[in-house]
Chain A
Amino acid sequence: MYGTMDEDALTPLHPNYVKAVRLGTALFALPLVIGALVLETAGLLPHGSFVVPALLVALYGVLRVPLRRYHARGYQMGADRLRVVRGLLFRSDTVVPFGRVQHIDVLQGPIERGYGLATLVLHTAGNHNASVALPGLGHADALAMREAIRAHVKRETI
């Protein structure tokens, strides 16, 4: 009755998601770059043999990967179901019917809070995909989606 959804275009995440992932990756890469610098000063190998690869990997991880991840992700809010698509190499395309949602979380980490983002998590009773997370939503959007799903669940239950 609602069609297959597969042909419809996905809703992209909030643009700030790229920045948030970049900041997260940068914080993760920082100790590695510092480690490379320390090894460099020890002077074991010719100049640049530690710092150059480390910096290249860090730059690729900070600049390119978040953008690709942003384009790989997306969601689609149906009348009675949520579709979540993610993954660069390993694609995953999950649909959760609202009628199977046990409870809903809206999470905000420190970085997400800084960019006004939130992660919506739907919990089902299934062992596989027990909780389906959708990061990179605007906080207000996430709250609105939560209310919509909750209203649906409530309406169905009454």
Chain B
Amino acid sequence: MNVAVPAAPSTTAEEWRRTSRTGFVVRGIMAVRNAALPLLAALVGSGAWKQGWLVIAPLVALACAIGFATSWLAWRHFRYRLGDADVRVEKGLLSRTARSVPYERIQDVSVEQALIPRLFGLVEVKFETGAGGKDELAIGYITEAEGAALRETVRARKSGEGAITGADDRAEPEARLLFAMDLKRLLTFGLFEFSLVVFAVLGGVLQQFDFLLSFDFWDFDAWLALLAGPGHRLGELGLVAQALGAMLALSVLAVLGLVTGLGRTVLRDYGFRLEETPKGLRRRRGLLTRTDVVMPLHRVQALRITSGIVRRRFGWHGLSVVSLAQDTKSESHVVVPFGTMEEIAPVVETTGFVLPGSATDWHMASRRQRNDSIALAVLPLALMAVAALGVALAARAAGLPASGPLLAAFGLAAFGAFLAVRAWYLWRHRRHAIDARQLFVREGWLAPHLAIASRVKLQSVEIAQGPWARRRGYADVNFGVAGGKLAMHGVPLEAARAIRAAVLDSVAAVDFSRLPG
């Protein structure tokens, strides 16, 4: 069992193979990197860092040694094989795991390259099976050439039963460029990705390291004392200076938000390329961690065209495909992160879906649903506002200052009005439609989006009604989509039943295993 098989870069498999030898160095470095923060915390927490280098150095060396030793053992006991019917992986020293994944169950093969493996020219190959994140099969780290060969081999064997195989899978298949982002587009995208998440991170960091500050960061009195002490000049500068200061703070906020948005966007989407290959849509992106994903077209269950409340005014939209194979973190694959509808249309066409046109018969949600959602949003706040008003009147009658409760009443009323407008706006822009092949749902306020689903690929249909909806005769229609969600809200009950019957008849006519894909 422990005969070392050299990792020969041949694609005719059948024999057990090892990952790259340098892979264990990469794993070791990553293990040490991951252990760095806990180690630091342990050193600080136990007070060992005050003992000087004589204590620290051996501890750090020990951590490094453990990191490299475990990664070497992991490498030593990891092997994989491409069999006739499945991919097999055996790993583990004490508890051995032998996993077999049949080729038909593999939804997608992706090649991922994080920063450190990239420096060594290594990649990690991941097999997505639709089982969900943690049960996914990954083979890492192997050389770039071997990773590409592995992917091609698995693809070829997988589509072997599908009878539609390309002539020679060894050669790089010809690709048609569908969408790419140049630097200018990337930077424009970054501007729209304005994000204040950096403050959440800073807050978290401050919470972690507040022992380094000489005072409690969240203590308002401490700030006042600081202002009264060395900062007392700030307080004496007068109103104009204070207003200037506030403006300065706001612009710092804006700049930080912009920089964060730009940074995250460039890191994620640098060199974005979407191509159509015989095996599906191929997407490459990333600055430090470069990812390369191929999405087989027949696995696409639904499309989502997203936008933002601001970027929509400038005609910018994004396109994602929903499939069983899930992207890291989010449930759908972004194929056009930021483009015009003219750029998105050809991609939609490639996926075999049709954008809604002038013939699409859009329906709005029931008016009763609008009235109910507005009432439900406003009622609690209106009651609270009336209560606050009552308190204010009582206070006035008793000769007490009533400005506090009065202000609260106005605030609650204003918030209630805002919620009412929001509910109305949501209803006003909510649309659904159904045609012979597809379902359409258009919804949203801050992030308006349009979902397009293929009727035959739906998994189940549910008509759901809350206590209000039952009395008032409307319902939500929830569709089971592999890899995503789709719901029509506030549909009159009769229409909901008709939609369900129509969808079910087209669903039941085609069996799951005989779905195109």
Interface residues of A, Cβ cutoff 8 Å to B: 1-6, 80-81, 89-102, 124-130, 132, 153, 156-157
Q: B481's closest neighbor in chain A, by CB?
A: A126
Contact with A along B499-515 (1 / 0, CB 8 A): 01100110110111110
- Residues from chain B with a CB closer than 8 A to the CB of A101 are 512
The distance in angstroms between the C-alpha atoms of A132 and B324, with both chains bound, is: 19
Is there an interface contact between B511 and A92, defined as CB atoms closer than 8 Å?
Answer: no
- Residues from chain B with a CB closer than 8 A to the CB of A100 are 458-460, 480, 507, 512
Q: A2-B505, A100-B480 are in contact. List 6 more A-B contacts (CB 8 A).
A: A1-B505, A5-B501, A96-B459, A102-B512, A129-B460, A130-B480
The winner among A92, A93, A98, A132 for most chain B CB atoms within 10 A is A93
- Given A95-B461, A125-B324: A4 in contact with B498 (beta carbons within 8 A): yes
Query: Can you list the 7 inter-chain pairs with the closest CB atoms, starting with the nearest?
Result: A126-B480, A126-B459, A156-B511, A4-B501, A124-B459, A125-B482, A94-B462
Chain A CB within 8 A of B141 CB: no
Is there an interface contact between A81 and B504, defined as CB atoms closer than 8 Å?
Answer: yes
The distance in angstroms between the C-alpha atoms of A153 and B507, with both chains bound, is: 14
Q: How far is the CB of A94 from chain B (nearest CB, A)?
A: 4
- Given A6-B501, A89-B466: A125 in contact with B459 (beta carbons within 8 A): yes
Is there an interface contact between A125 and B465, defined as CB atoms closer than 8 Å?
Answer: no
- Residues from chain A with a CB closer than 8 A to the CB of B121 are none
Is there an interface contact between B483 and A127, defined as CB atoms closer than 8 Å?
Answer: yes
Is there an interface contact between A126 and B514, defined as CB atoms closer than 8 Å?
Answer: no
| SS of B interface (majority) | mixed
Chain A CB within 8 A of B464 CB: yes
Is there an interface contact between A129 and B508, defined as CB atoms closer than 8 Å?
Answer: no
- Residues from chain A with a CB closer than 8 A to the CB of B45 are none
State the interface size on chain B (CB cutoff 8 A). Answer: 37
Chain A CB within 8 A of B76 CB: no
Give which listed residue, B460, B464, B513, contacts A132 with CB less than 8 A. Answer: B460
- Residues from chain A with a CB closer than 8 A to the CB of B463 are 91-94
The winner among A81, A89, A126, A157 for most chain B CB atoms within 10 A is A126
Is there an interface contact between B460 and A80, defined as CB atoms closer than 8 Å?
Answer: no
Is there an interface contact between A95 and B504, defined as CB atoms closer than 8 Å?
Answer: yes
Give which listed residue, A99, A129, A153, contacts B478 with CB less than 8 A. Answer: A129
Q: A93's closest neighbor in chain B, by CB?
A: B463
Is there an interface contact between A94 and B461, defined as CB atoms closer than 8 Å?
Answer: yes
Q: A122's closest neighbor in chain B, by CB?
A: B460
- Residues from chain A with a CB closer than 8 A to the CB of B480 are 100, 124-130
- Given A2-B508, A99-B508: A127 in contact with B485 (beta carbons within 8 A): yes
Chain A CB within 8 A of B130 CB: yes
Is there an interface contact between A126 and B507, defined as CB atoms closer than 8 Å?
Answer: no
Chain B, 463-481, CB within 8 A of any chain A CB: 463-467, 470, 478-481
Chain A CB within 8 A of B484 CB: yes
Q: A89's closest neighbor in chain B, by CB?
A: B467
Is there an interface contact between A128 and B481, defined as CB atoms closer than 8 Å?
Answer: yes
The distance in angstroms between the C-alpha atoms of A98 and B505, with both chains bound, is: 12
Chain A CB within 8 A of B273 CB: no
The distance in angstroms between the C-alpha atoms of A148 and B324, with both chains bound, is: 27
Q: A126's closest neighbor in chain B, by CB?
A: B480
- Given A125-B324, A128-B478: A96 in contact with B508 (beta carbons within 8 A): no
- Residues from chain A with a CB closer than 8 A to the CB of B482 are 125-127
Is there an interface contact between B504 and A125, defined as CB atoms closer than 8 Å?
Answer: no
Q: B486's closest neighbor in chain A, by CB?
A: A128
The winner among B481, B483, B507 for most chain A CB atoms within 10 A is B507
The distance in angstroms between the C-alpha atoms of A90 and B465, with both chains bound, is: 6
Is there an interface contact between B331 and A99, defined as CB atoms closer than 8 Å?
Answer: no
